[in-house]
Amino acid sequence: MAKVAFIGLGNMGSGMAANLAKAGHEVRAFDLSEAALAKAEAAGCLRVASAAEAATDADAVVTMLPAGKHVEDVYENSIFGAAPKTAILIDCSTIDVATARKVIADAEAAGYQMVDAPVSGGIAAAEAGTLTFMCGGTESAFAAAKPFLEIMGKAVIHAGGAGAGQAAKICNNMLLGASMVATCETFALAQKLGLDPATFYAISSQASGQCWSMTSYCPVPGVGPETPADRDYEGGFATALMLKDLKLAMEAAQSVDAYTPMGAEAEVLYERFANLGGAGKDFSAIIKMIDDSWPK
Ligand code: NAD
């Protein structure tokens, strides 16, 4: 049984921390929100009064926070110094590549091993322990983090050096955002041309246009396997989070002078949809803006 500090027990962190506790680890939980702390306690974690207290004597520190500024603040002001140098530091938040690299460099300068380990999979996968982790860091840091990540996920992949996990995450989600928009406009056009959506699905899912956004996450209700489209686009992966990831991808693209016209257009469209009130809907709901059925 290891002592694990878990900071950030929101939608994702609560399920992840619960799985570590279920596996027999002593999970010391800290969050700024009282409701999040109460939920963590009910799931078998020990609530503590600060991130630094959680990190004291810890074998591992796991963070699942909103953005880069929160991650930098928590590590620089509460974890470094408080955690023993033997603790493996694992940031699972989705943040910008530059901050991930900076915090890991600072951790290493302070004598720690650290990985960035963002996830693919939403709240249901966090609760079920079936996330996919993409990790950046040294071989030795990855090896130290892996046993903890394996409890929370079904796949744990070493993507490369510091920041490589974040790079893999935003590249994947840029492809997802662009392919979802392409899938939505394709179904909208097919319908305007008189094609039945189910018939078009039967054809395209077996032809060269097939992609994950179509066959695993079809944005049209009643077509293909059950998806958020069949629940009025509730649950799933919120438009606001897709927009966040597209912004991170565009920021990263700019930093290395990469030409990403499809990613840039996806960002513009998701921003417009969020501003029209779609931020809380699943990201496949953008089909309603594209086919002009979203209320204006
Ligand atoms: P959330 O807002 O539900 O949870 C974040 C938690 O961090 C909150 O409970 C908040 O109180 C806490 N927090 C913020 N600052 C803190 C601090 N200084 N100290 C302690 N606690 C602090 O967000 P979420 O949906 O759980 O997402 C967390 C991360 O996972 C984000 O980076 C997000 O992009 C990523 N992610 C989310 C999903 C998803 O489906 N929700 C999927 C993949 C990745």
pLDDT for 184: 98
Mean pLDDT of the chain: 97
Copy the structure tokens of residue 163: 């920041």
pLDDT for 42: 97
pLDDT for 59: 98
**Rama region for 172: left / alpha / beta (φ>0; ψ in -120 to 50; rest):** alpha
Task: Provide mean pLDDT across the span 236-259.
Answer: 96
Question: CATH number of 3-161: 3.40.30.10, 3.30.499.10, 3.40.390.10, 3.40.50.720?
Answer: 3.40.50.720
pLDDT for 44: 97
> Is 263 near ligand 1, meaning CB less than 6 Å away?
no
Dist CA 100 CA 277 (whole Å): 31
pLDDT for 296: 79
pLDDT for 229: 97
Packing angle of the helix pair 139-152, 13-22 (nearest 10 deg)? 90
What architecture (CATH level 2) is domain 167-290?
A: Orthogonal Bundle (1.10)
Q: Is the pLDDT of residue 122 over 90?
A: no
Nearest CA to ligand 1 atom 1: 10
> Rounded to two decimals, what is the model's pTM?
0.95
Task: Provide mean pLDDT across the span 108-135.
Answer: 96
pLDDT for 275: 98
- Residue 87 has what DSSP assignment? P
Q: What percent of the chain has pLDDT over 90?
A: 97
Residue 10 CA to ligand 1 centre (angstroms): 5
- Map tokens 């079904």 to a residue: 154
Determine which one of 3, 102, 146, 169 is catalytic: 169
Global ipTM: 0.99
| Domain range summary for the chain, segments of one domain joined by + | 3-161, 167-290
Q: Is 169 a catalytic residue?
A: yes
Nearest CA to ligand 1 atom 30: 93
pLDDT digit string (tens) for 37-93?
A: 999 999 999 999 999 999 999 999 999 999 999 999 999 999 999 999 999 999 999
> Is 205 near ligand 1, meaning CB less than 6 Å away?
no
> Is 31 near ligand 1, meaning CB less than 6 Å away?
yes
pLDDT for 188: 97
pLDDT digit string (tens) for 129-164?
A: 999 999 999 999 999 999 999 999 999 999 999 999
Dist CA 6 CA 15 (whole Å): 11
User: Strand 119-120 vs strand 131-136: parallel, antiparallel, or unpaired?
Assistant: antiparallel
Length of the chain: 296
pLDDT digit string (tens) for 192-238?
A: 999 999 999 999 999 999 999 999 999 999 999 999 999 999 988 99
